[in-house]
Amino acid sequence: MRSQLSGAPLVERRSIDFIPENERHGRVFSQFTLWLAANLQITAVVTGALAVALGGDVVWSIAGLLLGQVVGCAAMALHGAQGPRLGLPQMLACRAQFGVKGAVLPLALACVMYLGFNATGMVLSGQALGQLLQVSDGVGSLLFALAVLLAASLGYRAIHRLGRAASLLGLLAFCYLFMRLLGRADLLPLLAANARFEPAAFVTAVSLSASWQIAFAPYVSDYSRYLPSATPPAKVALAIGLGSGLGAQIAMSLGVLVAAVGGAAFRGREVAYFVGLGADGAIAAALFFCVAFGKVTISTLNAYGGFMCAGGIASAFGARPEALGPRRRWLIVAAMALVSLAVALWAQQGFLPLFKSFLLLLLALFTPWSAVNLLDFYWLRDGRMAPSALEGADYRWPGLLAYLAGVLSQLPFIDSALFRGPMVRALGGADISWLVGWLAAAGLYWLMMRRRAAAWAAAPGEGAAG
């Protein structure tokens, strides 16, 4: 199968290997449409609704979510800008900080993240397809898994085309639903009655959207690595950050309003209530389709990212990149889809509490990783990395120790269903663990690496390409 536009193969042939310059292609604008589509979807709506379900008011929840978008998007966009420079998947590039086998730890955690996000996507998309096709939610989840399997098996170019189509559909659907909500409910009294500032709820809203964006960091450059290496990093970061932040804020703000209007009627039947704002009949069917289609985009990103991480783990123990072609990609994606489907069927009930805990757990695990990766690449190596930085050492202990210290430093500040740290009550219920973890990991890594960075600056070698 070949692309009608350029004659290049639509089915991607490369996997985790370096993308040579003569195979680079694409435009920066495609980064905007891809990440806009990835965020204009029902799971982002549910995330916004969580801010209200967990005790926040409408006005300050929307403000807190916006602040979290700014912080989270800044981090994830800087990760995405690494793609054209390195020409490698995001998590493979972190071997420079963790070592060839040391990077297996964040790679494995990223695989768990993809499985979890795809499971949540299957819960919500199963509801949408069930309503659209008049089948059970379980059958809807299975059909959704098959669609994701097909899209992820095609690879990079097909994913960007899917993003362009999904961004247009998502904008139309969300604009329509906003207008319907304005016509259905009198929002001014609702906003006036919900203008009280609760610090803990506000911080929770910030954490929810920041964690949403930082969760993209482990794979955002997977989808920019084919851009020509001369592409200005600032343009790449701006396109990614604006697309992701705008899409997420639109969806999450709508989620805040829907949860405030719907209350208990929203919980447990999120998709049906959300689409029910629109209409019934043909329009409702179109909206159910848009919900499912929007989820296909982000779930395809998760499935493809999972393949990249699984390939990175395999290569750490001797597998060659050329052995991870389209057929292996299909098999790995299929295996991960089956696991996600099993989790989705188990988690149909009590979805919102599980999802909140999952998001905050991701934040605890990936904020320190993000801190180490960004500090190393942009501050210590000045955005330049020689191939030797990704080879040689099995373990790079400064990165691993800083990462583990960042995770451990968060424990007193975490508020989750599984564990509540002693500092949470002292802070009025606010969870600031992600901020503590970022600062602790970045600070410790800088202390351990500052002398080596000075040597790189004086004689570029392993760290920075001359």
Q: What is the pLDDT of residues 345-386, one digit of tens each?
A: 776 655 556 665 666 676 678 889 999 999 999 988 888 877
What is the DSSP code (8-state) at residue 221?
A: G
Could you tell me where the DSSP H helices lie in 277-419?
281-316, 326-346, 351-374, 397-410
What gap in Å lies between CA 406 and CA 444, rounded to an integer? 9
Find residue 9's DSSP bridge partners. Answer: 2
Cα-trace Rg, the chain: 21
- pTM for the structure as a whole: 0.86
Residue 12 has a pLDDT of 82
Q: Which helix (H) or strand (E) holds 67?
A: helix 58-80
In terms of Cα–Cα distance, which of 65, 110, 93, 90 is closest to 365? 110
Residue tagged 């795809």 (tokens): 118
What are 177's two structure tokens?
Answer: 């639903």
Cβ within 8 Å of residue 132, ≥6 positions away: 140, 285, 288, 289, 292
Residue 72 has a pLDDT of 94
Q: What is the pLDDT of residues 272-331, one digit of tens each?
A: 777 666 566 677 778 778 877 888 888 888 888 888 888 888 888 887 876 777 778 888
Contact between 224 and 93 under an 8 Å Cβ cutoff? The reply is no
Q: What is the pLDDT of residues 22-58, one digit of tens each?
A: 999 899 999 999 999 999 988 888 889 888 887 788 8
- Is pLDDT at 178 greater than 90 in this prediction? no
Please report the DSSP string for 16-40 in residue order.
SS---GGG----THHHHHHHHHHHS
Task: Report which residue type is found at 78.
Answer: L
The whole-number average pLDDT for the span 255-272 is: 73
Domain ranges of the chain: 28-455
Q: Give the least confident one: 3-7, 409-413, 423-427.
A: 3-7
What gap in Å lies between CA 104 and CA 98, rounded to an integer? 9
Contact between 218 and 110 under an 8 Å Cβ cutoff? The reply is yes
In terms of Cα–Cα distance, which of 196, 185, 329 is closest to 257? 185
In terms of Cα–Cα distance, which of 383, 342, 430, 406 is closest to 93? 383
Residue 4 has a pLDDT of 40
In terms of Cα–Cα distance, which of 110, 95, 258, 287 is closest to 184? 258
Contact between 372 and 443 under an 8 Å Cβ cutoff? The reply is no
Confidence of residue 190 (pLDDT cuts 50, 70, 90): low
What gap in Å lies between CA 110 and CA 331, rounded to an integer? 18
Residue 458 has a pLDDT of 63
The whole-number average pLDDT for the span 162-170 is: 90
- Is pLDDT at 9 greater than 70 in this prediction? no
User: Which runs of E-coded beta strand occur in 96-198?
Assistant: none
Residue 466 has a pLDDT of 31
The domain made up of 28-455 has a fold known as: Hydantoin permease (1.10.4160)
Residue 2 has a pLDDT of 41
